[in-house]
Structure 1
Amino acid sequence: MRLLIVEDDANLNRQIGEQMQAAGFACDHSHDGREALYLGEEYDYDLAIIDLGLPELDGISLIRQLREKNRNYPMLILTARDAWQDKVEGLEAGGDDYLTKPFHPEELRARVQALLRRAHGLAQSKMHFGTLTIDTDAKAVTLNDRAVELTGYEYNTLLQLALNRGKTLSKAQLTEHLYAQDFDRDSNTIEVFVGRLRKKLDPDGSLNLISTQRGLGYRFNLEPTDS
Protein backbone atom coordinates (compact mmCIF):
# COMPACT_ATOMS: atom_id res chain seq x y z
CA MET A 1 0.00 0.00 0.00
CA ARG A 2 1.15 3.50 -0.79
CA LEU A 3 0.97 6.50 1.56
CA LEU A 4 1.47 10.24 1.12
CA ILE A 5 3.19 11.90 4.09
CA VAL A 6 2.79 15.69 4.23
CA GLU A 7 4.84 17.26 7.03
CA ASP A 8 7.09 20.34 6.86
CA ASP A 9 9.34 19.20 9.70
CA ALA A 10 11.97 17.26 7.75
CA ASN A 11 13.01 15.06 10.67
CA LEU A 12 9.46 14.13 11.60
CA ASN A 13 8.58 13.52 7.95
CA ARG A 14 11.54 11.16 7.65
CA GLN A 15 10.73 9.41 10.95
CA ILE A 16 7.13 8.80 9.94
CA GLY A 17 8.33 7.45 6.61
CA GLU A 18 10.74 5.07 8.28
CA GLN A 19 8.01 3.85 10.65
CA MET A 20 5.54 3.28 7.84
CA GLN A 21 8.11 1.62 5.58
CA ALA A 22 9.03 -0.73 8.44
CA ALA A 23 5.32 -1.60 8.59
CA GLY A 24 5.40 -2.51 4.91
CA PHE A 25 4.10 0.65 3.23
CA ALA A 26 5.52 2.50 0.24
CA CYS A 27 5.76 6.23 1.02
CA ASP A 28 5.85 9.48 -0.92
CA HIS A 29 6.93 12.62 0.95
CA SER A 30 6.01 16.28 0.70
CA HIS A 31 7.04 19.25 2.84
CA ASP A 32 4.55 21.86 1.68
CA GLY A 33 0.88 22.02 0.81
CA ARG A 34 1.26 23.02 -2.85
CA GLU A 35 3.45 20.06 -3.74
CA ALA A 36 1.18 17.78 -1.72
CA LEU A 37 -1.85 19.02 -3.64
CA TYR A 38 -0.17 18.09 -6.91
CA LEU A 39 0.83 14.65 -5.64
CA GLY A 40 -2.54 14.03 -4.05
CA GLU A 41 -4.35 14.82 -7.29
CA GLU A 42 -1.88 12.93 -9.49
CA TYR A 43 -1.70 9.61 -7.64
CA ASP A 44 -4.27 7.25 -6.20
CA TYR A 45 -2.91 6.82 -2.68
CA ASP A 46 -4.25 4.37 -0.15
CA LEU A 47 -4.00 6.99 2.61
CA ALA A 48 -2.54 10.44 3.31
CA ILE A 49 -1.02 11.69 6.57
CA ILE A 50 -1.35 15.48 6.61
CA ASP A 51 0.01 18.07 9.04
CA LEU A 52 -2.18 21.15 9.50
CA GLY A 53 0.62 23.71 9.83
CA LEU A 54 2.05 23.59 6.31
CA PRO A 55 3.77 26.31 4.24
CA GLU A 56 2.43 27.37 0.82
CA LEU A 57 -0.99 25.82 1.47
CA ASP A 58 -2.26 24.95 4.95
CA GLY A 59 -3.43 21.46 5.79
CA ILE A 60 -7.12 22.38 6.10
CA SER A 61 -7.13 23.91 2.61
CA LEU A 62 -5.17 20.97 1.24
CA ILE A 63 -7.69 18.46 2.56
CA ARG A 64 -10.64 20.51 1.36
CA GLN A 65 -9.22 20.91 -2.15
CA LEU A 66 -8.36 17.23 -2.45
CA ARG A 67 -11.91 16.32 -1.46
CA GLU A 68 -13.26 18.79 -4.00
CA LYS A 69 -11.18 16.93 -6.60
CA ASN A 70 -12.92 13.70 -5.52
CA ARG A 71 -9.84 12.21 -3.93
CA ASN A 72 -11.57 9.83 -1.54
CA TYR A 73 -8.72 7.97 0.14
CA PRO A 74 -8.50 8.27 3.97
CA MET A 75 -6.74 11.32 5.39
CA LEU A 76 -5.18 11.31 8.86
CA ILE A 77 -4.59 14.77 10.33
CA LEU A 78 -1.47 15.56 12.36
CA THR A 79 -1.74 18.63 14.53
CA ALA A 80 0.26 20.35 17.26
CA ARG A 81 -2.84 22.38 18.09
CA ASP A 82 -4.78 21.36 21.19
CA ALA A 83 -7.84 23.51 20.49
CA TRP A 84 -10.85 21.34 19.74
CA GLN A 85 -12.00 23.87 17.14
CA ASP A 86 -8.94 23.10 14.97
CA LYS A 87 -9.65 19.38 15.14
CA VAL A 88 -13.32 19.88 14.27
CA GLU A 89 -12.37 22.13 11.35
CA GLY A 90 -10.00 19.48 10.02
CA LEU A 91 -12.62 16.76 10.24
CA GLU A 92 -15.27 18.97 8.66
CA ALA A 93 -12.88 19.76 5.79
CA GLY A 94 -12.75 16.06 4.98
CA GLY A 95 -10.23 14.53 7.36
CA ASP A 96 -11.06 11.07 8.68
CA ASP A 97 -9.16 11.08 11.98
CA TYR A 98 -6.57 13.16 13.81
CA LEU A 99 -3.51 12.62 15.94
CA THR A 100 -2.06 15.28 18.24
CA LYS A 101 1.71 15.74 18.40
CA PRO A 102 3.73 14.34 20.04
CA PHE A 103 2.44 10.85 19.41
CA HIS A 104 3.70 7.31 19.88
CA PRO A 105 4.69 5.46 16.68
CA GLU A 106 2.45 2.52 17.63
CA GLU A 107 -0.57 4.81 17.89
CA LEU A 108 0.15 6.24 14.44
CA ARG A 109 0.43 2.77 12.98
CA ALA A 110 -2.77 1.62 14.70
CA ARG A 111 -4.74 4.61 13.42
CA VAL A 112 -3.43 4.11 9.89
CA GLN A 113 -4.41 0.45 9.96
CA ALA A 114 -7.86 1.27 11.37
CA LEU A 115 -8.51 3.87 8.67
CA LEU A 116 -7.45 1.46 5.94
CA ARG A 117 -9.74 -1.25 7.32
CA ARG A 118 -12.64 1.20 7.50
CA ALA A 119 -12.01 2.40 3.94
CA HIS A 120 -12.40 -1.16 2.69
CA GLY A 121 -15.36 -2.06 4.89
CA LEU A 122 -13.40 -4.39 7.17
CA ALA A 123 -14.51 -4.74 10.78
CA GLN A 124 -11.37 -6.63 11.80
CA SER A 125 -7.84 -7.17 10.62
CA LYS A 126 -8.30 -10.69 9.26
CA MET A 127 -9.89 -11.46 5.90
CA HIS A 128 -11.02 -15.05 5.41
CA PHE A 129 -11.50 -16.67 2.02
CA GLY A 130 -12.25 -20.27 2.88
CA THR A 131 -8.93 -21.89 3.76
CA LEU A 132 -6.99 -18.68 2.94
CA THR A 133 -6.58 -15.98 5.59
CA ILE A 134 -4.97 -12.56 5.17
CA ASP A 135 -4.10 -10.69 8.37
CA THR A 136 -3.77 -7.03 7.42
CA ASP A 137 -2.28 -5.96 10.76
CA ALA A 138 0.32 -8.73 11.01
CA LYS A 139 0.80 -8.69 7.21
CA ALA A 140 0.68 -12.46 7.30
CA VAL A 141 -1.02 -15.10 5.16
CA THR A 142 -2.09 -18.60 6.15
CA LEU A 143 -3.42 -21.40 3.97
CA ASN A 144 -5.06 -24.42 5.59
CA ASP A 145 -3.89 -23.01 8.95
CA ARG A 146 -0.25 -23.04 7.83
CA ALA A 147 1.79 -19.87 7.45
CA VAL A 148 2.83 -19.00 3.91
CA GLU A 149 6.05 -17.05 3.52
CA LEU A 150 5.61 -14.11 1.15
CA THR A 151 7.89 -11.21 0.31
CA GLY A 152 6.62 -7.70 1.01
CA TYR A 153 5.78 -7.09 -2.63
CA GLU A 154 4.06 -10.46 -2.98
CA TYR A 155 1.94 -9.75 0.10
CA ASN A 156 1.02 -6.24 -1.06
CA THR A 157 0.09 -7.53 -4.52
CA LEU A 158 -2.17 -10.16 -2.95
CA LEU A 159 -3.70 -7.61 -0.58
CA GLN A 160 -4.53 -5.12 -3.35
CA LEU A 161 -6.17 -7.84 -5.40
CA ALA A 162 -8.10 -9.19 -2.40
CA LEU A 163 -9.33 -5.74 -1.34
CA ASN A 164 -10.62 -5.26 -4.88
CA ARG A 165 -11.94 -8.81 -5.27
CA GLY A 166 -14.13 -9.33 -8.29
CA LYS A 167 -12.56 -6.33 -10.06
CA THR A 168 -9.89 -6.45 -12.74
CA LEU A 169 -6.82 -4.42 -11.80
CA SER A 170 -4.35 -3.45 -14.50
CA LYS A 171 -0.60 -3.77 -14.04
CA ALA A 172 -0.43 0.04 -13.91
CA GLN A 173 -3.01 0.20 -11.12
CA LEU A 174 -1.19 -2.40 -9.08
CA THR A 175 2.14 -0.68 -9.67
CA GLU A 176 0.72 2.65 -8.42
CA HIS A 177 -0.12 1.06 -5.06
CA LEU A 178 3.09 -0.93 -4.66
CA TYR A 179 5.86 1.59 -5.30
CA ALA A 180 6.76 5.05 -4.04
CA GLN A 181 7.03 7.91 -6.53
CA ASP A 182 10.83 7.87 -6.73
CA PHE A 183 11.10 4.10 -7.19
CA ASP A 184 12.25 2.76 -10.54
CA ARG A 185 9.04 0.97 -11.49
CA ASP A 186 8.60 -1.81 -13.98
CA SER A 187 5.03 -3.01 -14.36
CA ASN A 188 6.28 -6.28 -15.85
CA THR A 189 7.37 -7.32 -12.37
CA ILE A 190 3.67 -7.61 -11.50
CA GLU A 191 3.61 -10.73 -13.67
CA VAL A 192 6.40 -12.15 -11.55
CA PHE A 193 4.59 -11.41 -8.28
CA VAL A 194 1.34 -12.94 -9.52
CA GLY A 195 3.20 -16.00 -10.75
CA ARG A 196 4.84 -16.46 -7.36
CA LEU A 197 1.50 -16.08 -5.57
CA ARG A 198 -0.07 -18.74 -7.73
CA LYS A 199 2.87 -21.07 -7.12
CA LYS A 200 2.79 -20.57 -3.34
CA LEU A 201 -0.97 -20.43 -2.77
CA ASP A 202 -2.60 -22.28 -5.67
CA PRO A 203 -0.02 -24.46 -7.44
CA ASP A 204 -2.58 -26.84 -8.98
CA GLY A 205 -5.08 -24.09 -9.85
CA SER A 206 -7.84 -25.67 -7.76
CA LEU A 207 -8.61 -22.45 -5.87
CA ASN A 208 -8.79 -20.32 -9.01
CA LEU A 209 -7.14 -17.69 -6.83
CA ILE A 210 -6.10 -15.08 -9.41
CA SER A 211 -7.19 -15.05 -13.03
CA THR A 212 -5.57 -13.20 -15.90
CA GLN A 213 -7.85 -10.99 -17.96
CA ARG A 214 -5.92 -10.83 -21.20
CA GLY A 215 -4.94 -7.28 -22.09
CA LEU A 216 -6.66 -5.92 -18.96
CA GLY A 217 -4.95 -7.22 -15.84
CA TYR A 218 -5.65 -9.57 -12.93
CA ARG A 219 -8.65 -10.46 -10.80
CA PHE A 220 -8.91 -12.05 -7.37
CA ASN A 221 -11.72 -14.61 -7.54
CA LEU A 222 -12.31 -15.91 -4.00
CA GLU A 223 -15.34 -14.81 -2.00
CA PRO A 224 -15.05 -13.83 1.67
CA THR A 225 -16.25 -16.26 4.33
CA ASP A 226 -17.04 -15.77 8.01
CA SER A 227 -14.12 -17.87 9.16
Structure 2
Amino acid sequence: MRILIADSDSGAVSHLVKVLGKSSYAVDHVKTADEALNMFKHYEYDLFITELVLSDLPGEELIRQVRRSRISTPIMVLSVRTDSPTKVAAFSAGADDYVTKPFDMSETQARIQALTRRSYGIAESRLCVGPLELDLESRMVSVNGHFLHLTSKEYSILELLLLRKGAVLTKDMFLNHLYGGIDEPEMKIIDVFICKLRRKLQRFGAEHMITTVWGRGYILQDPAAAAGTSASSQGFTEGSAPLRQAG
Protein backbone atom coordinates (compact mmCIF):
# COMPACT_ATOMS: atom_id res chain seq x y z
CA MET A 1 0.00 0.00 0.00
CA ARG A 2 1.14 3.53 -0.71
CA ILE A 3 0.98 6.55 1.61
CA LEU A 4 1.68 10.24 1.00
CA ILE A 5 2.78 12.39 3.95
CA ALA A 6 2.83 16.21 3.83
CA ASP A 7 4.75 17.68 6.77
CA SER A 8 7.47 20.34 6.81
CA ASP A 9 8.98 18.95 10.02
CA SER A 10 11.01 15.96 8.82
CA GLY A 11 12.08 15.09 12.35
CA ALA A 12 8.51 14.72 13.54
CA VAL A 13 7.61 12.10 10.94
CA SER A 14 10.96 10.39 10.29
CA HIS A 15 10.26 7.59 12.78
CA LEU A 16 6.76 7.08 11.37
CA VAL A 17 8.18 6.85 7.85
CA LYS A 18 10.68 4.21 9.00
CA VAL A 19 8.02 2.18 10.82
CA LEU A 20 5.67 2.27 7.84
CA GLY A 21 8.52 1.31 5.52
CA LYS A 22 9.29 -1.75 7.66
CA SER A 23 5.61 -2.71 7.35
CA SER A 24 6.03 -2.63 3.55
CA TYR A 25 4.11 0.59 3.03
CA ALA A 26 5.56 2.65 0.19
CA VAL A 27 5.83 6.16 1.67
CA ASP A 28 6.31 9.46 -0.16
CA HIS A 29 7.16 12.43 2.08
CA VAL A 30 6.79 16.03 0.89
CA LYS A 31 7.08 19.29 2.82
CA THR A 32 4.60 21.61 1.10
CA ALA A 33 0.99 21.59 -0.05
CA ASP A 34 2.06 22.34 -3.62
CA GLU A 35 4.30 19.25 -3.66
CA ALA A 36 1.46 17.14 -2.25
CA LEU A 37 -1.00 18.29 -4.92
CA ASN A 38 1.59 17.58 -7.59
CA MET A 39 2.12 14.05 -6.28
CA PHE A 40 -1.62 13.39 -6.51
CA LYS A 41 -1.44 14.28 -10.21
CA HIS A 42 1.02 11.46 -10.86
CA TYR A 43 0.21 8.71 -8.35
CA GLU A 44 -2.68 7.01 -6.59
CA TYR A 45 -2.49 6.68 -2.81
CA ASP A 46 -4.18 4.47 -0.24
CA LEU A 47 -3.82 7.14 2.46
CA PHE A 48 -2.84 10.81 2.75
CA ILE A 49 -1.39 12.06 6.04
CA THR A 50 -0.98 15.82 6.43
CA GLU A 51 0.09 18.40 8.99
CA LEU A 52 -2.14 21.47 9.12
CA VAL A 53 0.81 23.81 9.63
CA LEU A 54 2.43 23.99 6.19
CA SER A 55 4.63 26.75 4.79
CA ASP A 56 2.66 27.54 1.64
CA LEU A 57 -0.98 26.72 2.39
CA PRO A 58 -3.12 25.99 5.46
CA GLY A 59 -3.70 22.28 5.83
CA GLU A 60 -7.47 22.73 5.87
CA GLU A 61 -7.32 24.37 2.44
CA LEU A 62 -5.05 21.62 1.13
CA ILE A 63 -7.64 19.04 2.21
CA ARG A 64 -10.38 21.04 0.48
CA GLN A 65 -8.39 21.17 -2.75
CA VAL A 66 -7.79 17.43 -2.62
CA ARG A 67 -11.52 16.81 -2.20
CA ARG A 68 -12.42 19.33 -4.91
CA SER A 69 -10.22 17.30 -7.25
CA ARG A 70 -12.54 14.35 -6.53
CA ILE A 71 -9.78 12.40 -4.86
CA SER A 72 -11.41 9.95 -2.45
CA THR A 73 -8.20 8.83 -0.73
CA PRO A 74 -8.69 8.66 3.06
CA ILE A 75 -7.06 11.63 4.81
CA MET A 76 -5.51 11.59 8.27
CA VAL A 77 -4.47 14.83 9.94
CA LEU A 78 -1.34 14.48 12.08
CA SER A 79 -0.87 17.89 13.64
CA VAL A 80 0.55 19.95 16.49
CA ARG A 81 -2.75 21.84 16.62
CA THR A 82 -4.95 20.36 19.34
CA ASP A 83 -7.89 22.79 19.72
CA SER A 84 -11.41 21.59 19.00
CA PRO A 85 -12.33 24.32 16.43
CA THR A 86 -9.34 23.32 14.30
CA LYS A 87 -10.31 19.66 14.46
CA VAL A 88 -13.87 20.49 13.45
CA ALA A 89 -12.58 22.59 10.53
CA ALA A 90 -10.35 19.73 9.35
CA PHE A 91 -13.22 17.25 9.39
CA SER A 92 -15.48 19.75 7.63
CA ALA A 93 -12.83 20.17 4.92
CA GLY A 94 -12.84 16.42 4.27
CA ALA A 95 -10.47 14.74 6.73
CA ASP A 96 -11.32 11.21 7.90
CA ASP A 97 -9.24 11.07 11.08
CA TYR A 98 -7.28 13.43 13.33
CA VAL A 99 -4.25 12.58 15.48
CA THR A 100 -2.39 15.14 17.58
CA LYS A 101 1.36 15.35 18.14
CA PRO A 102 3.14 13.92 19.99
CA PHE A 103 1.41 10.71 18.92
CA ASP A 104 1.46 7.13 20.14
CA MET A 105 3.00 4.99 17.41
CA SER A 106 0.93 1.85 18.08
CA GLU A 107 -2.36 3.74 18.08
CA THR A 108 -1.41 5.68 14.95
CA GLN A 109 -0.45 2.48 13.14
CA ALA A 110 -3.81 0.96 14.06
CA ARG A 111 -5.62 4.02 12.70
CA ILE A 112 -3.55 3.90 9.50
CA GLN A 113 -4.41 0.23 8.99
CA ALA A 114 -8.10 0.93 9.50
CA LEU A 115 -8.10 3.83 7.02
CA THR A 116 -6.15 1.96 4.35
CA ARG A 117 -8.55 -0.97 4.62
CA ARG A 118 -11.43 1.45 4.24
CA SER A 119 -9.94 2.76 0.99
CA TYR A 120 -10.61 -0.69 -0.47
CA GLY A 121 -13.99 -1.09 1.19
CA ILE A 122 -12.63 -3.74 3.56
CA ALA A 123 -14.01 -3.97 7.09
CA GLU A 124 -11.75 -6.73 8.42
CA SER A 125 -8.01 -7.26 8.28
CA ARG A 126 -8.23 -10.74 6.74
CA LEU A 127 -8.60 -11.18 2.99
CA CYS A 128 -9.75 -14.58 1.75
CA VAL A 129 -10.04 -15.92 -1.80
CA GLY A 130 -10.57 -19.65 -2.18
CA PRO A 131 -7.86 -21.48 -0.18
CA LEU A 132 -5.75 -18.31 0.13
CA GLU A 133 -5.87 -16.13 3.26
CA LEU A 134 -3.88 -12.95 3.95
CA ASP A 135 -3.94 -10.91 7.16
CA LEU A 136 -3.19 -7.23 6.53
CA GLU A 137 -2.17 -6.57 10.13
CA SER A 138 0.04 -9.57 10.89
CA ARG A 139 1.14 -9.90 7.22
CA MET A 140 0.71 -13.68 7.51
CA VAL A 141 -0.34 -15.63 4.42
CA SER A 142 -1.67 -19.17 4.36
CA VAL A 143 -2.89 -21.57 1.66
CA ASN A 144 -5.14 -24.48 2.66
CA GLY A 145 -4.00 -23.93 6.23
CA HIS A 146 -0.26 -23.97 5.39
CA PHE A 147 1.80 -20.88 6.22
CA LEU A 148 3.39 -19.34 3.15
CA HIS A 149 6.88 -17.85 3.47
CA LEU A 150 7.10 -14.78 1.23
CA THR A 151 9.67 -12.09 0.64
CA SER A 152 8.62 -8.48 1.21
CA LYS A 153 8.14 -7.88 -2.53
CA GLU A 154 6.21 -11.12 -3.01
CA TYR A 155 3.91 -10.21 -0.13
CA SER A 156 3.30 -6.72 -1.53
CA ILE A 157 2.38 -8.14 -4.95
CA LEU A 158 0.02 -10.73 -3.46
CA GLU A 159 -1.53 -8.09 -1.18
CA LEU A 160 -2.29 -5.84 -4.16
CA LEU A 161 -3.74 -8.75 -6.14
CA LEU A 162 -6.02 -9.66 -3.24
CA LEU A 163 -7.10 -6.09 -2.57
CA ARG A 164 -8.08 -5.76 -6.23
CA LYS A 165 -9.16 -9.32 -6.86
CA GLY A 166 -10.96 -9.80 -10.13
CA ALA A 167 -9.28 -6.76 -11.70
CA VAL A 168 -6.45 -6.88 -14.22
CA LEU A 169 -3.33 -5.20 -12.82
CA THR A 170 -0.67 -3.92 -15.21
CA LYS A 171 3.06 -4.20 -14.63
CA ASP A 172 3.18 -0.42 -14.26
CA MET A 173 0.75 -0.69 -11.35
CA PHE A 174 2.92 -3.29 -9.65
CA LEU A 175 6.09 -1.22 -10.16
CA ASN A 176 4.36 1.85 -8.76
CA HIS A 177 3.13 -0.16 -5.77
CA LEU A 178 6.54 -1.68 -5.07
CA TYR A 179 8.92 1.16 -5.86
CA GLY A 180 6.87 4.35 -6.08
CA GLY A 181 8.80 5.73 -9.05
CA ILE A 182 12.13 5.53 -7.22
CA ASP A 183 14.90 3.37 -8.72
CA GLU A 184 12.37 1.24 -10.56
CA PRO A 185 13.87 -1.85 -12.25
CA GLU A 186 12.78 -3.15 -15.66
CA MET A 187 9.22 -4.42 -16.02
CA LYS A 188 10.37 -8.01 -16.46
CA ILE A 189 11.10 -8.15 -12.71
CA ILE A 190 7.33 -8.38 -12.20
CA ASP A 191 7.27 -11.56 -14.30
CA VAL A 192 9.97 -12.98 -12.03
CA PHE A 193 8.05 -12.14 -8.85
CA ILE A 194 4.81 -13.58 -10.24
CA CYS A 195 6.57 -16.78 -11.32
CA LYS A 196 8.02 -17.25 -7.82
CA LEU A 197 4.63 -16.58 -6.23
CA ARG A 198 2.97 -19.15 -8.46
CA ARG A 199 5.53 -21.77 -7.53
CA LYS A 200 4.94 -21.18 -3.82
CA LEU A 201 1.17 -21.32 -4.26
CA GLN A 202 1.53 -24.47 -6.36
CA ARG A 203 3.19 -26.31 -3.49
CA PHE A 204 -0.09 -26.17 -1.57
CA GLY A 205 -2.51 -26.73 -4.43
CA ALA A 206 -3.33 -23.14 -5.44
CA GLU A 207 -1.26 -22.77 -8.61
CA HIS A 208 -4.05 -21.49 -10.85
CA MET A 209 -5.09 -18.42 -8.85
CA ILE A 210 -2.86 -15.86 -10.61
CA THR A 211 -3.63 -15.69 -14.30
CA THR A 212 -1.81 -13.86 -17.08
CA VAL A 213 -3.96 -11.61 -19.25
CA TRP A 214 -1.74 -11.38 -22.31
CA GLY A 215 -0.75 -7.85 -23.28
CA ARG A 216 -2.38 -6.39 -20.17
CA GLY A 217 -1.10 -7.85 -16.92
CA TYR A 218 -2.20 -10.24 -14.18
CA ILE A 219 -5.41 -11.05 -12.33
CA LEU A 220 -6.14 -13.01 -9.15
CA GLN A 221 -9.31 -15.09 -9.19
CA ASP A 222 -11.01 -17.69 -7.07
CA PRO A 223 -9.95 -21.12 -8.38
CA ALA A 224 -13.57 -21.85 -9.39
CA ALA A 225 -13.62 -18.69 -11.54
CA ALA A 226 -10.20 -19.41 -12.97
CA ALA A 227 -11.05 -23.00 -13.92
CA GLY A 228 -11.98 -22.03 -17.47
CA THR A 229 -8.75 -20.17 -18.12
CA SER A 230 -6.42 -21.84 -20.60
CA ALA A 231 -3.48 -23.82 -19.31
CA SER A 232 -1.08 -21.64 -21.25
CA SER A 233 -2.09 -18.50 -19.37
CA GLN A 234 -1.88 -20.30 -16.04
CA GLY A 235 1.48 -21.96 -16.48
CA PHE A 236 3.55 -19.19 -18.06
CA THR A 237 4.53 -15.64 -17.35
CA GLU A 238 5.46 -13.40 -20.23
CA GLY A 239 9.01 -14.19 -21.31
CA SER A 240 9.43 -16.90 -18.66
CA ALA A 241 9.87 -20.66 -18.63
CA PRO A 242 7.00 -23.03 -17.80
CA LEU A 243 6.19 -23.52 -14.14
CA ARG A 244 8.01 -26.27 -12.30
CA GLN A 245 7.34 -27.68 -8.89
CA ALA A 246 9.53 -25.93 -6.34
CA GLY A 247 12.00 -28.23 -4.76
TM-score (ref. length: structure 1): 0.92
Ranges in structure 1 where 5+ consecutive residues have no aligned partner: none
Percent of aligned positions with the same letter in both sequences? 36
Contact 1:41 1:69 in 2 (8 A): no
Contact 2:24 2:152 in 1 (8 A): yes
Q: 1:207 Cα deviation (Å)?
A: 5.0
Distance 2:181 2:197 in 1: 25
Report the structure number with the largest CA radius of gyration.
Answer: 2
Contact 2:78 2:100 in 1 (8 A): yes
Q: 1:41 Cα deviation (Å)?
A: 2.3
Distance 2:125 2:11 in 1: 30
Q: Are 1:184 and 2:189 matched, yes or no? A: no
Q: CA deviation digits over 1:123-151, x for unaligned, max 9? A: 21111223211000011101122211101
Q: Higher relative CO (CA 8 A, sep ≥ 6), structure 1 or 2? A: 1
Distance 1:143 1:60 in 2: 45
* Structure 2 counterpart SS, 1:28: strand
Contact 2:143 2:206 in 1 (8 A): no
Distance 1:207 1:199 in 2: 7
Distance 2:203 2:94 in 1: 44
Contact 1:47 1:75 in 2 (8 A): yes
- Tell me what 2:161 maps to: 161
Counterparts of 1:52-201 in structure 2 under 5 Å? 52-201=52-201
Q: Which amino acid aligns with 2:192?
A: V
- Tell me what 1:13 maps to: 13
Q: Which amino acid aligns with 2:15?
A: Q
- Tell me what 1:24 maps to: 24
Contact 2:211 2:220 in 1 (8 A): yes
Distance 1:141 1:90 in 2: 37
* Structure 2 counterpart SS, 1:168: coil
Aligned length: 223
Q: 1:204 Cα deviation (Å)?
A: 8.6
Distance 1:45 1:26 in 2: 9
Superposition CA RMSD, Å: 1.7
Moved more, 163-172 or 88-97: 88-97
TM-score (ref. length: structure 2): 0.85
Ranges in structure 2 where 5+ consecutive residues have no aligned partner: 224-247
Q: Which amino acid aligns with 2:63?
A: I
Distance 2:183 2:63 in 1: 26
Q: Are 1:51 and 2:57 matched, yes or no? A: no
